[in-house]
Structure 1
Amino acid sequence: MKKIILLLLFSITSFSQKKPEDFGYKHLLLDYKKLTVDVIIKSKKGEENIQKPLFFWCQGSMPQPVLKYDETGLYGTFPFDENDFLTDFHLIIIGKPGIPVISDVKDLKNNYQYLVENDSVPKVYSDHNYLDYYVERNDFIIKKLLKEKWVSKNKLVLAGHSEGSTIVAKLATKNKRVTHLIYSGGNPYGRILNMLEEEIFKQKSYEIIEYWNFVVENKNNLEYNGGDTYKATYDFSQPSAKYLKKLKIPVLITYGTKDWNAPYNDLLQIEGIQLGLKKIEFKPYFDVEHNFFPVNEKREPNHEIYNWENVGKDWKNWLDKN
């Protein structure tokens, strides 16, 4: 009798666990350096096998599943309206190492993070959460996907926000099939400067400089200490401007003027004019923060006003013109 009850409980649990396919996504599992990589593909319904170019989206930081849902349905997978792109592209997003690609939000912690014992990240995640791993892995996956019959080779768009912007900037210098780059919400002179700007504004302090000294001394350290590893902080604090300046393809840089990175995007724009970088276009969004929410004088965001859909439409219009 106990066996029957256990089997029934297992059956009910298994039945309730959702799969990407339940929400209209294609899910590929590819092996890369002894890890299984989750590749999520969103296509226009009925056009999954029609040849189209890839719009490769690289998300920001934090150990979150790609797909999150509750009893009411799926949370937003992309911050922009994916329907704006599906007529012309297949959308691609890749899961984080060691993080389930899909999860019920009730199984996640603060900010929808997937954490394990003692609220720490999985070791697989902390061991691989650094710039070059993501760049090399994504390059490998893109080359695999370009061999598929449903993928057009005449255009390849990379787009990334926040941490993802640094990844796609470096990736665009590595993969010569990339034709367009969208660099959103990044600091072209490194993550540590965002941290410094925020500390100066909120605490009128420069203590982050001491932290940076420690990061540099431990720049290859992958031990988890409650946040990003020192290696992750060091890697993502290296200027992506050096990659952006090398590119000969069209580049769109979008950012909020109240984001901590705004002065450094402005600096890159000034430098770009001096260097004659005609392929880079800048689009600032006034009085909004990192995720394009408007802020008050204390830089506190108003989450009732969602601007990401407008940002996505601007990206699509830019792609249509370039």
Structure 2
Amino acid sequence: MNHLIYITMFLLSKTFAFAQKIPEDFGYRHIKMKYLDDPVDIIVISKPGEEKIAKPLFLFCQGSMPQPVVKYDETGLYGTLPFDEMHFLDDFHIVIIGKPFIPIISNVNKLGRNYMFLKDIEKEIPPKGYIDRNYLDYYVFRNNWILKQLFKERWVKINQLLVAGHSEGSTIAVKMASINKKITHLIYSGGNPYGRMATILEQSRSEEKDSLPRGEKVIERWKDIVENKAEIQYDGGDTSKATYSFSLPQRDNLMDLKIPVLVTYGTHDWGVSFNDLFQIEAIREQKKNFTFKSYVGLEHNYFPKDSNGIVNQEVYNWDKIAEDWMNWLNNV
């Protein structure tokens, strides 16, 4: 009987300990701050043993999902970044700022589809605090404020500041750089300089048939969003406020930058035509600070996509992308 009690207590304590994982268990620093009275969680990834050595920061702006930054299960840690961070840790401390009112770390078994943290998993509704703050300017001004605070730390060199963003994060990164003159290098990945709605419309047009005018439905939706651009809905999906803010073209903010900018995208991404157009315009305006790198046959997240639109998620290209980012950094 005592033996059984011991085993039960051991299993319970093991389960409890596992449920209580913290970022430090995976070698990360977890910094907590307050921005406009909102709690902000920050993950810092450093080369082991070099946490206190002064290095520049590399801020990576997340995509659009309300995901915890650090995700794990009983087998261990999931990828915190889409690429192997070791490419950058010799030269940088990597910073990732959590989504508002989304826990910074979670067991994936507690998450919904696409590892989203949801208040209502069945209806896919995130916490209200996240929904209220999920729009472009909140992220831009919050992130720039946090960088200002981090610049006060002894382990931060302020001579260089790399900001990269993929997908929605690319829009955040560009607007940050248009305001924050401390940013010295920008990586714009998988974005659309003409805004989110342009990408949605492009995808809808490609799926159109005579009897299914998807494009017109998107345009009607856009008209409604513009009429109600400050409205926040709590029924799941992006709010009008979020969609409107991320649909504002960043073309001019991007073109006006004087710092080195790397633009990367897959040629089978829905935003490819807009990135190609932007490249044509940058060449016409003789913007020598821009480097463009397109990846033939790859889609939005750099997976191969065939002529039938089938994505092969078995072929993972992110580490190659990161290697190209690092090569660019070393040559600008």
TM superposition score category, shorter chain reference = over 0.9
Alpha-carbon separation, structure 2, partners of 1:203 and 1:26: 48
The match for 2:292 is: 282
* Aligned positions of 1:239-318 closer than 5 A: 239-318=249-328
Identity, % of aligned pairs? 56
State the alpha-carbon separation in 2 of the partners of residues 13 and 116 from structure 1: 23
The offset of 1:300, in angstroms, is 2.1
Secondary structure class of the residue paired with 1:283:
strand
Letter in 2 for 1:177: K
CA offsets 1:168-205 (integer angstroms, 9 cap, x no match) = 00000111111000000000000011111111112343
SS, match of residue 272 in structure 1: helix
**How far apart are residue 298 of structure 1 and its match?**
2.5
3-state SS of 1:133 partner: helix
Please list the CA deviations of residues 129-157 of structure 1 after superposition, one character each: whole Å capped at 9, or x if unmatched.
00000000000000000110000111000
Of the three residues 182, 187, 191, the one matched with 1:182 is 187
Q: 2:86 aligns with which of 83, 86, 89?
A: 83
Residue 131 of structure 2 is matched in structure 1 by 126
Hey, what's the Cα distance between the residues in 1 that align with 2:150 and 2:300? 31
d(CA) in 1 for partners of 2:69 and 2:231? 26
Task: Tell me which residue corresponds to 1:68.
Answer: 71
Mapped to 1, the partners of 2:268 and 2:290 lie a distance apart of 21
2:102 and 2:208 map into 1 onto residues whose CA distance is 34
Q: Shift in Å at residue 9 of structure 1? A: 9.7
In the other structure, the counterpart of 2:4 is none
CA distance in 2: counterparts of 1:258 and 1:85, whole angstroms: 27
Q: Distance in 2 between matches of 1:143 and 1:68?
A: 27
Which of 36, 40, 43 is the equivalent residue of 2:43? 40
Residue 319, structure 1, aligned to residue 329, structure 2: yes
Match of residue 156, structure 1, among 158, 161, 182: 161
Matches within 5 A, 1:18-57: 18-57=21-60
Structure 1 residue 233 and structure 2 residue 243: aligned?
yes
**After the TM superposition, which of the residue ranges 118-127 and 231-240 deviates more from structure 2?**
118-127
Report the Cα offset of residue 222 of structure 1: 1.6
Let me know the Cα RMSD of the aligned residues: 1.7
- 2:77 and 2:166 map into 1 onto residues whose CA distance is 21
Cα distance in 1, alignment partners of residues 195 and 289 from structure 2: 22
CA distance in 1 between counterparts of 2:299 and 2:105 reads 28
CA distance in 1, matches of 2:115, 2:268: 25
In structure 2, what is the Cα distance between the partners aligned to 1:99 and 1:226? Answer: 15
1: distance between equivalents of 2:235 and 2:88? 39
Structure 1 residue 166 displacement after superposition = 0.2
Deviation at 1:119, TM superposition (A): 3.2
Alignment partners' CA distance in 2, 1:11 and 1:31: 33
For residues 277 and 40 of structure 1, the distance between their equivalents in structure 2, rounded to whole angstroms, comes to 34
TM-superposed deviation, 1:13: 5.4
* Correspondence for 1:3: none
Q: Please state how far the C-alpha of 1:14 moved relative to its aligned partner.
A: 4.3
**TM-score, structure 1 as length reference:** 0.96
Kindly state the Cα deviation for residue 12 of structure 1 after the two structures are TM-superposed.
Answer: 5.7
Q: CA deviation at 1:70?
A: 0.6
Distance, in Å, in 2 between the alignment partners of 1:46 and 1:148 is 17
1:136 aligns with 2:138: no
For residue 197 of structure 2, what is the aligned residue in structure 1? 192
> What secondary structure does 2:277 align onto?
helix
Point out where structure 1 has 5 or more consecutive residues left out of the alignment. Answer: 1-6
Pick closer, same or farther for the CA change 1:283–1:74 going to 2, 3 Å.
Answer: same
For the pair 1:15 / 2:17, whether they are aligned, the reply is: yes
Distance 1:296 1:14, change over 3 A: same
Give the Cα–Cα distance (whole angstroms) in 1 for the partners of residues 198 and 287 of structure 2. Answer: 23
